[in-house]
Homo-oligomer: A and B are copies of this chain.
Amino acid sequence: MNIREIAKKADVSIATVSRVLNNSENVSFVTREKVLETLKRYEFKMDPWAKRLASKRTVTKVFIMISKRIMKQLNSKTGEFYSKVMEGIKNSAKANRTMIETVEMESNLDEDKLKNVNGVLLIGGDTTAEHVRFFKKIGMPLVLVDQYIPTVKVDCVVSNGYDGASYAVKYLLSQHIRKIVHIHGFLNHFGFKDRYSGYVAVMEQIGLLPKSYEYNDDIMEDMKPLVDKMLSVYGVPGAIFASNDSIAMKVIETLEDFHIKIPEDVSVIGFDGTEVGKNFIPSLTTLKVPMREMGSLALKRLLDIVYDQDVYPVRISLFTEFMKRGSSI
């Protein structure tokens, strides 16, 4: 049952049916009721591909919301991850006649600003359940990028940190390293939590005691106190698994200050697979996350939600790839 058949049944033109379907203004009350009734009676189901194809004639507008904290990093070395994600979003937007506008997550949005916005992408680990609820309440299509909130049913695109971390730890174990420390960021960021869980799961499965330290990358503080504490309490570990490349590089720099050699004394593994990590000396062993794909997939998914009806919310996880390089044996 397509729009033309509905039009015939309701004795109106296809344009009118389309107008009703899109809540267009200029339809009289009686006509609208008549069409709605017909749509329901014949269980009309919109063809998503036809809609998407036809919709190319209009521009779609999407808000990209990023926390101040991440926005600040965006052009620095530590900001490579989200820069690449943004690249992916922009590519996908260009290919889909979509206008994107970057907005600070902290700014409060009145209805006016959101009037002609078709959907929203919430970027990064600072996204909270509150943010999600705000947009869900007003029925705004929504996708979280690099964040997952178990308690809220909402679409998101993340990397598979659990398996990535598990792989890293198993690799180290296969190299006969058993004293493995995990240094991670805030665990309310799902990315960090997920990697942490993968690390802990493998360690405990093998019967080893997980040993982890949280590093607050917000304050950009010196890492010396943390490493100092680790060394004095725990001794020199065989390996350090850091929850991202930035942290891994900081760890390496700090360890070298302590005259500890990488990878001879300690193997260090990062996460993300950034360019800076690759060009770092020593070149960083890491788990590569397809950052551009994360961005483009997220935008694609958002457009699916905007244009297709009854999409069921899902979590989309991207595979990571282990990159053995110079910072580990």
Contact = CB atoms under 8 A, between A and B. Distances in A.
B314 A317 contact: yes
A204 interface: yes
Nearest to A164: B150
Interface in A271-329: 290, 293, 297, 312-319
A313 B319 CA distance: 8
Q: Which interface class (under 10, 10 to 19, 20 to 34, 35 or more) fits A?
A: 20 to 34
Nearest to A154: B319
Given A49-B53, A200-B201, A316 B319 contact: no
Interface string A110-127: 000000000000000000
Contact of A312 (B153, B200, B201, B297): B297
Given A95-B45, A200-B201, A312 B317 contact: no
A163 interface: yes
Contact of A50 (B53, B167, B197): B53
The residue in A49, A53, A95 that gathers the most chain B C-beta atoms within 10 A of its C-beta is A49
A133 to B, nearest CB: 16
Interface string A149-175: 010010000001001001100000000
A47 interface: yes
Contact of A318 (B166, B197, B314, B318): B314
Given A200-B201, A204-B204, A317 B319 contact: no
A97 to B, nearest CB: 11
